[in-house]
Structure 1
Amino acid sequence: MTLSDAPSGQATHAIRKADVLIVGGGLSGTLLAMQLLRLPGARHIVVVEPRAELGRGEAYSATELGHTLNGNAARMSVEPDDADDLTRWLQAHIAGGGWPESAVQPVPVAELFPPRGLFGLYAQQRLAQALAVGECNGSSLTHVRDEVVDLHTQAHGVRVTLKHGEPLQAGAAVLATGMFPAARTAQRQSSGLNAAALDPWNIDAMRALPVDARVLIIGSGLTMVDALESLNQAGHRGPIEVFSRHGLLPRVRRQPPVWEDFLSLAVHIRSPLQLLRELRRQCALAQARGIDWQAPLDTVRVHIPRLWSQASDAQRRQFVRHVRPWWESHHHRSPPQGDALLQRLIEEGRLTINAASLQGVDSSGLRIRLRYRGQSEAVWVQGDALINSTGIEYDWRRVDKALPRQLLQRGLILPGNLGLGIASDAGGAVLNAQAEPASRLFAMGPPLRGMWWESTAVTDVALQAKALAQRLVML
């Protein structure tokens, strides 16, 4: 068995039928394929992904060393039953002469924050190992370099339409579409921001700017940290102004000591508000003992799916509207390298953070209309360049791509809770417009944000991939 790469229009007659068809070959689709290949039984898996490589997607296609994971190696294993897998892989990779830059970080390998491109290589190597395991069972995997633009469910499977190639048939299909970065996603309702803004990861475009250009950035989360690194790599030395609704910055990720899993004992906690009250109490208790407040916070992640799924719609809305910005800035923390750059720019007086909401963008893209917090009137702000760092677009109703648009129009999918991704049952079966679970269409990873809230981190996706693979082989 080999991994074959079939560009659009080529070799389609040999692969028109598959047992499982995976829409998307980023990390989510790759981890699912990896789990399927390891299970007993012969099956043919097709992954439709326009990129030349599987396992990278949007997140791990970065080539700059400065664009690192926002979690250290000990937190980023793709093996749900082996938290040290990435650490061991990194140790061997570094010992073999890879990533020599890691030597400047005097910390154990488990505490390193690898470049995202390097993590993509790790995922690809684990897929290659799974391919070797699958060979013993007669399984195969084909990568079709194309884009799925439509999908139809049938009595005993699905039929997908490709942008360039012939239609494919499969016993089941999985929407593993990954993230839709706001900066790279055409939106049906748009302020014109994307048309005017630079891509946060396009260093070549930033090199074309005057070295002292005044750069305006919309959004102050982790994508903004990436944009700062891109500007730094491009040699930019001018002023940078960041605008976001609340003006909150990601906290830096540290390595706190182990804290008791207080939520496993606090069975009375069932709502987001109860969680926040107890979490604040635990953080205060840790600080009183001279322990980093991040220690209690790091115990919460494993309980988030349960707490989110049992919360009422009203409680979820309250969390998203009032708590989400603070949760994101504390929970989705910046890697130390990114935070060090951010703090240096602030100390140099080159970076300013503003609490203001975007009201519009003029046609030139060099002026944006903002309403600062506490002000009733909006004002125009002039810059030399604009960057969209607003993060991820989870609402499929706003994503102007063929597949989401077609699936929504024909009622094959239902928007997720609060417009977060798409709806599914607890096992990943997609719900249609009548809230009925599909028998042959599934989803995993970021599309299930509304179902589990945290559905984007490597550990979350790895667990979903293992569970879904076991369900798929039972069809």
Structure 2
Amino acid sequence: MGRIVIIGGGFAGAAAAIKIIAGSSGRLDLTVVEPRERLGRGIAYATANRDHLVNGLAGGFGLHPEDPGHLVRWLEEHAEKLGWTPPAGTPCAVSSPPRAVFGAYVEHELDRAIASAGERLRFTHLRDRAIDFDGEVVTLASGARLAADRIVLATGLFRKEPAFVTRALAQSRAYVRDVFDTDALTSAAGAKHVLLLGSGLTMLDAVVSLETRGFRGAYTAVSRRGLLVQARREAEPWPDMFADGPLPKTARDVLRRVQRERRQLAANGEDWQRLPPLFRQYAAAIWRQLDTGERAKLVRHLGSFWNLVQHRAATPSFAVLDRVRGEGRFQNLAATITALEPAASGARATLRPRGERQALSLDVDLVVNGLGFEFDWNRLKDPLVRNLVAKGFAVPHPLGSGVRADPDTLALVGRDGRVSTRLFAVGHALRAEMWEASSIREQLDHAIRLAKVLNRAGLMIGEAA
């Protein structure tokens, strides 16, 4: 009986396990290496704050595309027992459940898949970390070694650590590295002014957490472009701009198409949020036919805006920020921080506003890292990542995000240019190969595709059950 090892037990790893189990037809030995006690949570869905919501509507986030109403029915049956009900008068399907509740759903579905497989499945959750791989054996932080026929990298998210934060500040109570660390946020109790690094969804999580704790001081958010997170509005997709011709083959053509449709939307008084759902339908197909140079251009000109328009906030979460802005307590700056160090007040930031030569200083009581996550495998300090790269099993993608992989099989491409028959990836590691690999929908697609690849190749079929 062959063994499949999934490294990482967050959403992508749990979804892969669910689909691999469902797609197998014989005896299966499946191990998930994940240090957390509960699978399916990762960083995003492990938060205990019930005001941290899934950034979309429940009707679109089920684990079973063949059964679109599955999550909604599950919520109607289980969510109240978990301490959540939709807002009064709002159907469950058009509500945004807490991420903790969604994590419980993923965990429940994994448990159900394991139980349904019965004796043909040997499932193991190892609470450990993978730190090395020699081509045949995975080494764990505990010193244990796992022989594996197929390894699935579901390594998840790695926090972005800004270089301008001094060690002294990082070790002080004036700096919060993790917005989901409830103990660290106790430092906000006496604060009057908080500096937020970043202006996206992680920054919004920080504001929601602080407001929930009773903070009523001022915020200054700083990011290079000053692009502030947007609220999600459910809008019908814009008429298909690609229906009457071939897909664009250059970054310039893509940008021209998008800009043309944006102008048309504005001229018609339409909501710009009708455009992202349409573009998303074609994004992967357009991306696949662009060469590396054209992809780099598209990332440079459209990447930040895509993250802004695609990864929008749930309406209730954004309402918190909207209230804070209405009270005059929120300032959003487009600037580059050049230094951040301890000060009498807590911390002092030196920053240069975009388009200006003169630097300015800003004294704050607390600094919260809301920059999000690092995707460049050349910069990651994780031992497994470093060893995979050093040994040539993984190649950091030239676009600076994730690894080289075959988009059809999700198998890694090694330094020798060969497609691996042993190493596969799902989730964030495929970001540069797939254009979009951060959302539930895309990561679920990875899991489904991988299960089919393994099944077609006979990699999950052992002796008859």
Q: How far off its partner does 1:146 sit?
A: 0.3
Question: Is the CA contact (8 Å cut-off) linking 1:420 and 1:450 kept in structure 2?
Answer: yes
Q: How far off its partner does 1:283 sit?
A: 4.1
**Which of 331, 335, 344 is 2:310 aligned to?**
331
**Which of 13, 23, 34 is 1:29 aligned to?**
13
Q: How far off its partner does 1:273 sit?
A: 3.2
Q: How far off its partner does 1:372 sit?
A: 0.7
Question: Is the CA contact (8 Å cut-off) linking 1:111 and 1:255 kept in structure 2?
Answer: no
Gaps of 5+ in 2: 460-465
Q: How far off its partner does 1:210 sit?
A: 3.7
Structure 2 residue 272 is matched with structure 1 residue 297: no
Partner of 1:11: none
Q: Give the whole-Å Cα distance in 1 for the aligned partners of 2:179 and 2:212.
A: 12
Q: How far off its partner does 1:191 sit?
A: 4.5
Structure 2 residue 396 is matched with structure 1 residue 415: yes
Partner of 2:450: 468
Which shows bigger deviation, 428-437 or 50-59? 428-437
**Which of 74, 82, 85 is 2:70 aligned to?**
85
Q: Give the whole-Å Cα distance in 2 for the aligned partners of 1:192 and 1:108.
A: 48
Q: How far off its partner does 1:200 sit?
A: 1.6
Partner of 1:229: 208
Q: Give the whole-Å Cα distance in 2 for the aligned partners of 1:320 and 1:302.
A: 18
Partner of 1:126: 109
**Which of 360, 374, 379 is 2:355 aligned to?**
374
Question: Is the CA contact (8 Å cut-off) linking 1:250 and 1:328 kept in structure 2?
Answer: no
**Which of 387, 398, 404 is 2:385 aligned to?**
404
Q: How far off its partner does 1:207 sit?
A: 2.6
Residue pairs, 1:38-437, within 5 angstroms: 38-39=22-23, 40-94=25-79, 97-104=81-88, 106-135=89-118, 138-153=120-135, 158-182=136-160, 191-192=165-166, 195=170, 197-198=175-176, 199-286=178-265, 288-289=267-268, 291-363=270-342, 366-426=347-407, 427-437=409-419
Partner of 2:462: none
Q: Give the whole-Å Cα distance in 1 for the aligned partners of 2:103 and 2:446.
A: 19
Q: Give the whole-Å Cα distance in 2 for the aligned partners of 1:118 and 1:57.
A: 13
Q: Give the whole-Å Cα distance in 2 for the aligned partners of 1:286 and 1:81.
A: 33
Q: Give the whole-Å Cα distance in 2 for the aligned partners of 1:337 and 1:229.
A: 10
Question: Is the CA contact (8 Å cut-off) linking 2:164 and 2:340 kept in structure 1?
Answer: no
Q: Give the whole-Å Cα distance in 1 for the aligned partners of 2:159 and 2:62.
A: 23
- Where 1:226 maps in the other structure, the secondary structure is helix
Assess, with a 3 A threshold, how the Cα gap between structure 1 residues 141 and 102 changes in structure 2: closer, same or farther.
Answer: same
- Where 1:217 maps in the other structure, the secondary structure is strand
Assess, with a 3 A threshold, how the Cα gap between structure 1 residues 285 and 342 changes in structure 2: closer, same or farther.
Answer: same
Assess, with a 3 A threshold, how the Cα gap between structure 1 residues 291 and 378 changes in structure 2: closer, same or farther.
Answer: closer
Question: Is the CA contact (8 Å cut-off) linking 2:82 and 2:101 kept in structure 1?
Answer: no
- Where 2:421 maps in the other structure, the secondary structure is strand
TM-score for the superposition, normalised by structure 1: 0.89
Q: How far off its partner does 1:211 sit?
A: 3.7
Q: How far off its partner does 1:312 sit?
A: 2.5
Question: Is the CA contact (8 Å cut-off) linking 2:22 and 2:113 kept in structure 1?
Answer: yes
- Where 2:274 maps in the other structure, the secondary structure is helix
TM-score for the superposition, normalised by structure 2: 0.90
Question: Is the CA contact (8 Å cut-off) linking 1:150 and 1:403 kept in structure 2?
Answer: yes
CA RMSD of aligned residues (A): 2.2
Question: Is the CA contact (8 Å cut-off) linking 1:283 and 1:294 kept in structure 2?
Answer: no
Q: How far off its partner does 1:276 sit?
A: 3.2
- Where 1:298 maps in the other structure, the secondary structure is helix
Letter in structure 1 aligned against 2:78:
H
Assess, with a 3 A threshold, how the Cα gap between structure 1 residues 399 and 333 changes in structure 2: closer, same or farther.
Answer: same
Q: How far off its partner does 1:76 sit?
A: 1.6
- Where 1:173 maps in the other structure, the secondary structure is strand
Question: Is the CA contact (8 Å cut-off) linking 1:18 and 1:46 kept in structure 2?
Answer: no
Q: How far off its partner does 1:292 sit?
A: 2.7
Count of matched residue pairs: 448
Q: Give the whole-Å Cα distance in 2 for the aligned partners of 1:43 and 1:101.
A: 38
Q: How far off its partner does 1:456 sit?
A: 1.4
Which shows bigger deviation, 199-208 or 280-289? 280-289
Q: How far off its partner does 1:288 sit?
A: 4.9
Q: How far off its partner does 1:289 sit?
A: 4.9
Q: Deviations over 1:409-454 (max 9, x none)?
A: 2222100131101111121111112322111111111001110120
Q: Deviations over 1:340-360 (max 9, x none)?
A: 111111111111001101212
Gaps of 5+ in 1: 1-16
- Where 2:374 maps in the other structure, the secondary structure is coil
- Where 2:242 maps in the other structure, the secondary structure is helix
